[in-house]
Each structure stands twice: as C-alpha cells, then as structure tokens.
C-alpha cells in the first residue's frame, strides 16, 4: 500500500485480507519481550527460560534460526541496535547486560551491573545502552568500551525508559502516572509531565519521531506530539492496565495490549479502532515490523495438556489470508 492511500478505511480493508497469524514455540517458559531488527529480516524474543530466540522472516512465515544462551536468569527485555541489524542487547535478572551478534551467533560483550535489570533502551546513535533495575537505578553503558559511563538513582518507581529519536532527551515513566524528561547527556531534569492519573507503565516513540505514546494502569494509551510535548488524544478501549504499545513503520497505526483478551490496533490520527487481534491470555509484548504491517506479540498462554506449563510461543499477525 502506498503511503498516500493509507486512509482509515483502506487500512480496515487491508486487514480483512491480511489477518493470518503464524506461530513459533521456541521457549519453555513465558516470553517477556519481542523486537524486530532494523531491516526487519529478524525478530528476537526474550524469555523467562533465560534464552533469546532469533527468527528469520520469510515471505509468508517466520522460522527459528538460533537460540542464544548465556544469561543465568530471566531475560526481561531486549532491544536491537537502531541501525546495525546484526546486534541486539538484553537486560536480565542476573545483573548483567549482554550484547549479541547474529553474524557470529553468540554473545560479544557482558557488562556487570548493580541490580536485577528489568528494562533496556539503546540510543539512536548506537553509542549508549541504558538499563533500569528493580531498585530504580538507571545504568548508562558506553557500547564502544562496554564500561559503565554513569549510574543515576531515582527516588520513584521507574517503569520504562527511552531516548527520543534525536538523542537529546531521555524519558522515564513512573509509578505516579508521570513522565520525567531529562536533557541528555547531562541528565539534568527538564520537565515532569502528568500523563495519567494512575501508574504510567510503558513508553514508545514512533519511528519518524513525530509521536510518542504512553500506556497506563488506567487502561488508557495517551498519544503525544514529541516536539511540543503535548498530549494529542487518548485511546481507551482496553479495560486492564496497558502493558505494551508499538507504532507501525509509518506511524499510522498503534497497537496496545494488556490483560484484556484482545490486542487493540488504532488509527493514530483519530484513535479509532482499525482492527483487533483476539488472544487467549494476557499479552506481555507487541512489536510492529519496521517496514510492513506485521505485528509480533507474545502472550501468557499455558500448555493445553498441562495448565501449569507456559507455552513459550511467539506469534506474528498480518500475513495474507
């Protein structure tokens, strides 16, 4: 679909014929994080089973290409280098941050940190990785030396972290429904914005940098103008805390998910529902492909034969029927 054609009605029509779901089951425990690499050829998933699986996208399916082992605790979040499609980084409960390279198929660096890391972000210039731990300490790692550049403690509950796309602001969402915005690299506090009346859980910047969005325990997604730092609209179809959000490559769509048994896909410009994906369990993570309308996601599904066992599956929605 050409950019000019992607009106609300065109997108609704597109998903009527592009709603097939493909699935892989590479993990033996729940999947916390899915993320596409820069060119969209590979998807990675991080799991409570301490591993990362990497898949290759083919024309109408995806196949597992490798499993990466080395962490000694849960892989809670992962992210790819913003421009290098071969490297991804992982945050784990084992107090390390690891960088992996799919060309050599292994871990290429390990940085020890002070606590159990639960969130991670890679700066758009590729030079810095930030990780947050359970004690609300943010550690900034220089990726050229793999040494810690600075450690910044916070006196509030830090949920997710992100740079803006121009790398001069650093955002934190917190337990009081606020976004704290710091200048970068000075880390001087610039502004605190009240985004939600309840816990502000997740934050995501659109690929073009025009928008960002936050998801909250009040079950709402708020959409923001990234330059003006102004809230444009709220999307409020879900009923449970919004755990994960993702913008499509052209920023025309925003996916959001929670403990609701549905993933909401909204038209960014108006907040209207374009389509939704029915799921059987809470959704932990969603990620749009960087070039096409394919949404990867993972839910807390249990084995049909043994309800105590996690499925450990990863799905992609949007293949042609």
Q: Give the H/E segment covering residue 11.
A: helix 8-16
- Residues 6+ away with beta carbon under 8 Å from 89: 78, 79, 80, 81, 97, 98, 99, 100, 120, 122, 129
Given this model, what pLDDT does residue 306 score?
Answer: 82
Given this model, what pLDDT does residue 1 score?
Answer: 44
Q: Give the H/E segment covering residue 180.
A: strand 178-183
Residue recorded with tokens 């597992």: 64
Given this model, what pLDDT does residue 2 score?
Answer: 44
The predicted-structure confidence for 2-41, as pLDDT tens digits, reads as follows 444 579 999 999 999 999 999 999 999 999 999 999 999 9
Mark the ranges of the chain whose per-residue pLDDT is less than 70.
1-5
Q: Name the maximum alpha-carbon separation found in the chain.
A: 53
For residues 56 and 102, the answer to whether their CB atoms sit within 8 Å is no
Buried b (16+ CB within 10 A) or exposed e, 59-76: eeebeeebebebbeebbb
The predicted-structure confidence for 231-275, as pLDDT tens digits, reads as follows 999 999 999 999 999 999 999 999 999 999 999 999 999 999 999
Given this model, what pLDDT does residue 244 score?
Answer: 98
- Residues 6+ away with beta carbon under 8 Å from 308: 302
Look at residue 169 and give its three-state secondary structure: strand
Quick one: tokens of 21? Answer: 């779901």
């Amino acid at each position: 679909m050409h950019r000019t054609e992607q009106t609300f009605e065109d997108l609704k029509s597109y998903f009527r014929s592009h709603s097939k779901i493909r699935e892989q089951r590479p993990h033996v425990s729940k999947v916390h994080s899915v993320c596409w690499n820069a060119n969209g050829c590979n998807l990675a998933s991080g799991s409570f089973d301490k591993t990362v699986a990497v898949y290759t996208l083919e024309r109408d399916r995806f196949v597992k290409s490798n499993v990466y082992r080395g962490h000694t605790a849960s892989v809670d979040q992962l992210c790819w280098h913003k421009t290098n499609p071969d490297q991804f980084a992982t945050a784990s409960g084992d107090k390390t941050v690891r960088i992996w390279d799919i060309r050599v198929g292994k871990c290429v660096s390990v940085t020890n940190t002070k606590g159990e890391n639960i969130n991670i972000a890679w700066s758009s210039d590729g030079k810095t990785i930030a990780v947050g731990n359970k004690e609300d300490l943010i550690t900034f790692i220089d990726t050229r030396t793999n040494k810690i550049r600075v450690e910044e403690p916070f006196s509030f509950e830090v949920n997710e972290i992100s740079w803006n796309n121009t790398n001069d602001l650093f955002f934190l969402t917190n337990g009081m429904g606020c976004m704290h915005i710091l200048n970068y690299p000075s880390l001087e506090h610039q502004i605190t914005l009240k985004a939600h009346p309840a816990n502000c859980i997740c934050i995501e910047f659109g690929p073009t940098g025009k928008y960002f969005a936050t998801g909250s325990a009040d079950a709402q997604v708020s959409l923001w103008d990234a330059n003006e730092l102004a809230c444009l609209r709220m999307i409020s179809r879900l009923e449970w805390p919004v755990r994960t959000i993702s913008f499509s490559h052209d920023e025309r769509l925003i996916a959001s998910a929670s403990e609701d048994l549905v993933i909401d896909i909204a038209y960014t410009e108006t907040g209207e529902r374009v389509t939704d994906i029915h799921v059987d369990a809470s959704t932990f993570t969603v990620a749009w492909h960087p070039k096409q309308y394919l949404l990867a996601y993972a839910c807390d599904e249990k084995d049909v034969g043994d309800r105590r066992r996690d499925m450990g599956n990863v799905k992609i929605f949007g293949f042609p029927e």
